[in-house]
Structure 1
Amino acid sequence: MWLSLKHSSLVQLFFSAYETVVATPTYSPIHPPSYPLAVRNPYLSLWLPGDQVEDLPTATPQFWAGQDLSLGILARVDGTTYKLFGVPGSVGSAVEASVNNATYSSTHSIFGLTAGSVTFTLDFFSPISPSNYLRQSLPFSYVTVSTSSSQAHDIQIYSDIDESWTGQSGSTVSQLTTSGNLSLFQLSVAGAATYSETNLSQALWGETVLAAVSDSAETVSSASGAATTVRNSFASSGSLSGNTSTFVAEDVVALAYDLGQTSSASINFAIGYVREQAINYLGNARTGYYRATYQDTASAVSFFFNDYSAAYSESLTFDASLEQKATASAGTNYSDILTLTPRQAFGGTELTIPDDTLDTSDVMAFLKEISSDGNVNTLDVIFPAFPIFYVVAPEYIRLLLEPVLQYTESGAWTQPFAIHDIGTHYPNATGHDDQVEEDMPVEESGNIILLAYAYITATSNYDWGSKYQSIFQKYADYLSSEGLDEAVQLATNDCCGALANQTNLAIKAAIALNAYGTLFNDTSYSNTGISFATELYTNGLALDSSKTHFTLQYGTDVEFANDTDYAVVFNIYPDTIFGLATFPSAAFSMLADYYPTIQGQAGVPLDSRVDWSSTFWTSWAAAASPGDNDSTRTLFINNIWAFLTNGLNTAPFSDRWYAVPGSGGLIGGSGDLIGGYDRWRNRPVVGGHFAILALNGPGQF
């Protein structure tokens, strides 16, 4: 049974000593499907399935796609070795530590264990610092091991990884670099193809990093070799041999701290994945922003260790502020959802500069459409994710749009509507000069205008808007002619297939036109958008005959006139957050009254064709429901929270779950597990969970 301990202080939990062994761990704020451990970018994305917490000493962490990755942590106390994390095999006479508790915040996943009379705390810390481009771009995470006891003990701490991180069995080579007090292992594959992935989305090029840094109070030893040999060596002596001359398939690289006699101590390991040529943008290599200052991995890792105190302090402030703001905005269930979101949302992005010039005035952010199809900077992924960027770091919206707009400005994309993405598969942002892509004409044309509106109004950077106005106007013109006369086409939920006259798309077109007209002081576009809204709602074109809800498709033709069809009208949310008043307030009240009538066993299906619901789109619908304490808003929040806490799921924060029994047809199946996750893992679209908090305005952190 999964237990829940609501909202303990992160600082208190980190430093508290637990005097007794607890049979079943306690969980704070909830027991999620999966814990983010090291989540910084699409290729550094390590998770722990929630059902493995009770067996933490022998657990197997995973890459976001589900394949096992190694990360072993041992502790030696007065000569007795304890398994703390990720060591399923035998290690001499080692015993398993007892797991006391597990907690997460927006930047930390923390686990408390007891080994003899010593309490150990494992803190997996992935910084989120989007206003500090150097810190945010570093492709490393901290693994902090802390000890606490009422008296001093002789303590050593060990960690290892293997070639599972490179995704290429038998081809990995190991290199150890020591520089001053830094010990740095790098695992790589010689001759690996740049800008390529395994079929399970791991990078084939670059280097995995495991590092440690000693100070005057401790020493660090190292070794590589067979896991059994290296771990047993540590268990028997508390140190490693220093032999790193061999590394073959299934070997490990390991680092160990000797803390000596201590009653309280804390040490850091760094784990990361470095790709100096990170992104292929139109044939030009781009690299991490940090490399303008630290051009080799050793210096970057050294800075990362030196930056720990400042990054940690910032994280505590961010974590506490987010929990407070989320709770005040919509309650503790909403806070539980939001605090699990940031690492995943930002972990789908990378901050880059040109690899040749390292010019920090040319910054671009790239986002991978993780789990669905791997596209680069997909507009209908940036769009649902934008609330988190709007709240935390509005400048990120511009950084994500720049690669799209610069490519569009080049003239290589010649269609009258906005492009869907700038690359079929990450990290190759090579455009679509052949004009072949997954066309979503109204969808993406509306998205790019609304994203621009969000950024410009949040930052008052009207000069940037003027720079690209001709592009935005081109797409506003397209929406003016096509937004209410929609041919058969795809929308963002492309798995549902193409339709003509999609109400959600027409609503997006109406609001985007009003946004464009408002932004550039051209009432003709605003008037057109408002006229669309008048037709759809006031004149009832997109309503059922009883005018209780918007239908899936609009129009008077028999093929569209189906009163039982419906959709969660998430695209109306921008009208709320931006205060554009494209639609009258009665439209929002109508929706809030209707949604509870289609609540299923585990949620509100996204539309009448499907048996599943969406965490981020229903978050948008919740935010568009009027009233600070609206019952419909609470309904949507509670549906998502139930999905996170029902114990049926272990995927890295999937955004889609089965809400009602399926029919066995194309979209849903009769064997669906109600409350279980349908598909998709670790997608950055979860940034849309911030939709309610975003109503309080941009740049809140």
Structure 2
Amino acid sequence: MGELGRHRKTSGGMSRRNILRAGSIAGLSAAAVPVLGGTAFAQPGRGQNRLSTFEPIRPPATPLAVRSPYLSTWLASDSLPGTWPSFWTGRTTAMTGIVRIDGVPYVFMGAPAVDAAPVSQGMSQISLVTTATRSTFTLTGGGVELVVTFLSPIEPGDLRRQSAPLSYLSMRASSADGKAHAVSVYIDVSAEWAHGDSGTKVGWASASTSGVRSLTVTPSAPSVLAENGDMASWGTVVWSTPERSGLTWQIGEDQVVRAAAVQAGKLAGTTDPNQPRAIGDHWPVLGLNLDFGRVSAATDPFVVSIGHVRQPAMRYLGAPLQPLWTSYWPSWQDMVAAFHTDFVAASGRASTLDNKVTADARAVGGDKYAALCALAVRQAYGGTELVVRDGKPWAFLKEISSDGNVSTVDVTYPGMPIFLYLDPQRLGLLLAPLLDYAENGGWPKDYAEHDLGSHYPDAAGHNDGQEEDMPVEESANMLIMTAGYLARLTAADAKTFAAAHYPILKRWADYLVGNALDPGLQNQTDDFTGWIAHSVNLALKGIVGVGAMSRISTAAQNAADATHYLSTARDYIGQWATMGQDGAHLRLAYDQPNTWSQKYNGYPDQLLGLGLISSTVADHEAAWYLAHRNQYGVPLDLRHSYTKTDWELWTAAWQHRNAAIRDALITDVYNFANTTPNRVPFTDWYDTLSGRQQGFQARPVIGGVFALLTLPR
């Protein structure tokens, strides 16, 4: 669909592009079958798609440029040619790739129709390899092999590099038939990247700074700190590449710019003067073209970066916050130049990280677990971003695709494992504003807040107390995350942190002492299942939260409190096991016999080394889960057949010594991700019978996949 037939209308008066807009977010699979007609190239073949291999998994949607909540573009199909890339919501964020081989054009990315210069064929995709940081497509056509790599760097512990809202795209050509071929590569992005409404007027520009050519597009009347369709309504899209011989550029109507590349293999170096104009008015694109000349051996890569720069980035309690990158570079132009200078080194660091994730995950959970971890990394990081507040770094998280809240505690919590494993500093930065708000921001209640604001990027707080209260849930979450973070600091740093926040943490722990053993009617993180009284799983979380306070007290060198909270947790867990028992398994709720639920909150007991849950209880639960598995996993409880990806892997981590249930859960989630018909960024809520998405996508909670990698080995 996408940009095909832009000047045509369907019989119903809706453009083919708008047909895609009308689809539901969950129905993204429609984007995988372009509507072709007129001069559009022939789809690279449903038969050709079957030839493509996928290593180590066929992603439900492949991450392309995934760096922040607003730089989040995916491929919602198997094949790079023939489908428009899209924002995580499903809105087209068009990227076009056309390679001209011996004068013959082939599409290798997107689904363009070029009326003035028809492109009759697409390249054949041979493989897709997905790692923690890269998605690499190998394609062939016209005797040439083209390797297209999307690299979104993950830089644990390097705040400077991690703060850059930029992602790489590189293309390398070589002969596939032993003959030399004339090759030029054209790529563009459309103005759709700049706003969620194609009726919005935008302006564009081209400039060369520090040896880098940057083409940009910006809303002409930006709405600062506002969204449209979850896309930022302010900021600038930056499409950049180093200046080099054979490089040409052009900004203008898609049909005009693409036709120039197809016909001549070069662009005019001009900027369409008809601006500002609506995104959907002759669809302006930012085009780049590199003439490789005669190609036999592999070329040097054609490296382009895509970014979205916004100032300010957030608002916290009424005060605007700048993106953290402004602490390191005086302008985005300087940042982009540094990003390109760093490409070779960044690629090396990315390979090291890719290899580490694969090796570590394979060692604890096998090849399928390694595949799930590789798929989760960019998505987990891409739901967060770094800002600066009073000269110090902070991190915020967006509750993507559900409520859109700012730094939701029970969304940060399930995503915690990836940061404990790869980047504890990042977890500390995510905790910082949550603690600050409770301590200094006017939060009025004795238990932890649910979030920092009703909608990203405005962390307005809830000083009136009106929010989605989850008292036991969020208080325990904050204590468990804090204890996990402290365990990864030096003793001195842990003492400093624990002492600085001790009063608020103790307040939450004392709330749990009074309420965790038998929670009243409360909401909890799986709020789609409804409020529940006497929840056995919620009680478990609260008890582990009390135990977590013992670890925090130890870090703060308060031995008396450490003893008190640990003994309380031990006393409570004994009562919990008795009250929750229902034959050979635990109940859903204390007062509901003949019920059961998945006790994923056993994982933090293992994480913190508390040893609260007896091996007998754990073994009985494992046997019950094995007996109640469906094709794609264990349901959350007996009321529905759906489950959550993060909780499946949390349960696998809790049961990591029981190979049968651990491996079964890993296999079930892998099989779901590898075969689900819903082509959306890795969902964490799906049906265990059909393998279909139940809801949610692209959420940072997917970092919970890493739970097994946080345990002592």
Give the TM-score normalised by structure 1: 0.89
| Residue aligning to 1:335 | 370
| Residue aligning to 2:581 | 543
| Residue aligning to 1:533 | 573
The reply to whether residue 412 of structure 1 matches residue 445 of structure 2 is: no
Are 1:185 and 1:210, in contact at CA under 8 Å, matched by a contact in 2?
Answer: yes
| Residue aligning to 2:243 | 214
| Residue aligning to 1:692 | 708
| Residue aligning to 1:557 | none
SS for the counterpart of 2:81 is helix
- Per the TM alignment, residue 23 of structure 1 is displaced from its structure 2 partner at its CA by 6.8
| Distance in 2 between residues matched to 1:420 and 1:25, nearest whole Å | 44
- Per the TM alignment, residue 398 of structure 1 is displaced from its structure 2 partner at its CA by 1.0
| Distance in 2 between residues matched to 1:677 and 1:639, nearest whole Å | 14
Are 1:372 and 1:680, in contact at CA under 8 Å, matched by a contact in 2?
Answer: yes
| Residue aligning to 1:493 | 526
| Distance in 1 between residues matched to 2:683 and 2:134, nearest whole Å | 19
| Residue aligning to 1:428 | 458
- Per the TM alignment, residue 681 of structure 1 is displaced from its structure 2 partner at its CA by 0.5
- Per the TM alignment, residue 586 of structure 1 is displaced from its structure 2 partner at its CA by 1.7
Alignment-mate amino acid for residue 517 of structure 1 = S
Are 1:219 and 1:258, in contact at CA under 8 Å, matched by a contact in 2?
Answer: yes
The reply to whether residue 398 of structure 1 matches residue 428 of structure 2 is: yes
| Distance in 2 between residues matched to 1:398 and 1:386, nearest whole Å | 10
Question: For residues 207-232 of structure 1, what are the alpha-carbon distances to aligned partners after superposition, in whole Å with 9 as ceiling and x for unaligned?
Answer: 111111123xx232111222111111
- Per the TM alignment, residue 236 of structure 1 is displaced from its structure 2 partner at its CA by 1.4
SS for the counterpart of 2:708 is helix
| Distance in 2 between residues matched to 1:93 and 1:38, nearest whole Å | 28
5+ residue gaps, structure 2 = 1-47, 554-558
- Per the TM alignment, residue 449 of structure 1 is displaced from its structure 2 partner at its CA by 0.6
Alignment-mate amino acid for residue 360 of structure 2 = K
| Distance in 2 between residues matched to 1:640 and 1:287, nearest whole Å | 39
Question: For residues 292-311 of structure 1, what are the alpha-carbon distances to aligned partners after superposition, in whole Å with 9 as ceiling and x for unaligned?
Answer: 12232211111111111111
| Distance in 2 between residues matched to 1:366 and 1:125, nearest whole Å | 23
Change in 2 beyond 3 A, CA 1:228/1:561: closer
Larger mean CA deviation between 241-250 and 492-501 belongs to: 241-250
Change in 2 beyond 3 A, CA 1:495/1:445: same
Alignment-mate amino acid for residue 297 of structure 1 = W
Question: For residues 581-615 of structure 1, what are the alpha-carbon distances to aligned partners after superposition, in whole Å with 9 as ceiling and x for unaligned?
Answer: 12222221121111112112432110122220111
- Per the TM alignment, residue 151 of structure 1 is displaced from its structure 2 partner at its CA by 4.6
Are 1:377 and 1:422, in contact at CA under 8 Å, matched by a contact in 2?
Answer: yes
Are 1:102 and 1:110, in contact at CA under 8 Å, matched by a contact in 2?
Answer: yes
Are 2:95 and 2:188, in contact at CA under 8 Å, matched by a contact in 1?
Answer: yes
Give the TM-score normalised by structure 2: 0.88
| Residue aligning to 1:514 | 547
The reply to whether residue 381 of structure 1 matches residue 411 of structure 2 is: yes
Larger mean CA deviation between 649-658 and 517-526 belongs to: 517-526
Are 2:61 and 2:75, in contact at CA under 8 Å, matched by a contact in 1?
Answer: yes
| Distance in 1 between residues matched to 2:326 and 2:184, nearest whole Å | 34
SS for the counterpart of 2:232 is coil
Are 2:476 and 2:541, in contact at CA under 8 Å, matched by a contact in 1?
Answer: yes
5+ residue gaps, structure 1 = 1-20, 555-559, 661-673
User: 1:45-444, aligned counterparts within 5 Å?
Assistant: 45-51=72-78, 53=79, 56-90=80-114, 92-94=117-119, 95-149=121-175, 150-166=178-194, 167-170=196-199, 171-198=201-228, 200-215=229-244, 218-246=245-273, 247=275, 248=277, 249=281, 250-263=283-296, 264-265=298-299, 266-354=301-389, 359=391, 362-410=392-440, 412-444=442-474
SS for the counterpart of 2:694 is coil
| Distance in 1 between residues matched to 2:308 and 2:529, nearest whole Å | 36
Are 2:656 and 2:708, in contact at CA under 8 Å, matched by a contact in 1?
Answer: no
Question: For residues 466-497 of structure 1, what are the alpha-carbon distances to aligned partners after superposition, in whole Å with 9 as ceiling and x for unaligned?
Answer: 10000100001100111124221100001111
Are 2:358 and 2:374, in contact at CA under 8 Å, matched by a contact in 1?
Answer: yes
SS for the counterpart of 1:623 is helix
SS for the counterpart of 1:231 is helix
| Residue aligning to 1:15 | none
Alignment-mate amino acid for residue 159 of structure 1 = I
Question: For residues 82-111 of structure 1, what are the alpha-carbon distances to aligned partners after superposition, in whole Å with 9 as ceiling and x for unaligned?
Answer: 211113313624332121111111110011
| Residue aligning to 1:651 | 680
SS for the counterpart of 1:459 is coil
Are 1:588 and 1:626, in contact at CA under 8 Å, matched by a contact in 2?
Answer: no
Question: For residues 246-287 of structure 1, what are the alpha-carbon distances to aligned partners after superposition, in whole Å with 9 as ceiling and x for unaligned?
Answer: 354212121112223343221111111111211111122222
| Distance in 2 between residues matched to 1:274 and 1:179, nearest whole Å | 16
| Distance in 1 between residues matched to 2:695 and 2:303, nearest whole Å | 35
Question: For residues 19-54 of structure 1, what are the alpha-carbon distances to aligned partners after superposition, in whole Å with 9 as ceiling and x for unaligned?
Answer: xx9971111112121100000000100000134x1x
Identity across the alignment (%): 34
| Residue aligning to 2:535 | 502
Alignment-mate amino acid for residue 696 of structure 1 = P
Question: For residues 617-649 of structure 1, what are the alpha-carbon distances to aligned partners after superposition, in whole Å with 9 as ceiling and x for unaligned?
Answer: 01111111152x610111111110110122422
Alignment-mate amino acid for residue 677 of structure 1 = Q
| Residue aligning to 2:67 | 40
Alignment-mate amino acid for residue 712 of structure 2 = N
Alignment-mate amino acid for residue 274 of structure 1 = V
Question: For residues 407-450 of structure 1, what are the alpha-carbon distances to aligned partners after superposition, in whole Å with 9 as ceiling and x for unaligned?
Answer: 11115012011001111111111111111110000000101111
C-alpha root-mean-square deviation of aligned residues, in Å? 1.6
Question: For residues 383-427 of structure 1, what are the alpha-carbon distances to aligned partners after superposition, in whole Å with 9 as ceiling and x for unaligned?
Answer: 111110000011111100100111111150120110011111111
Are 1:591 and 1:625, in contact at CA under 8 Å, matched by a contact in 2?
Answer: no
Are 1:415 and 1:435, in contact at CA under 8 Å, matched by a contact in 2?
Answer: yes
| Count, aligned residues | 642
User: 1:545-564, aligned counterparts within 5 Å?
Assistant: 546=583, 548-554=584-590, 560-563=591-594
| Distance in 1 between residues matched to 2:654 and 2:540, nearest whole Å | 13
| Distance in 2 between residues matched to 1:695 and 1:294, nearest whole Å | 38
Question: For residues 112-145 of structure 1, what are the alpha-carbon distances to aligned partners after superposition, in whole Å with 9 as ceiling and x for unaligned?
Answer: 1112111101001100002111111111111101
Alignment-mate amino acid for residue 294 of structure 2 = Q
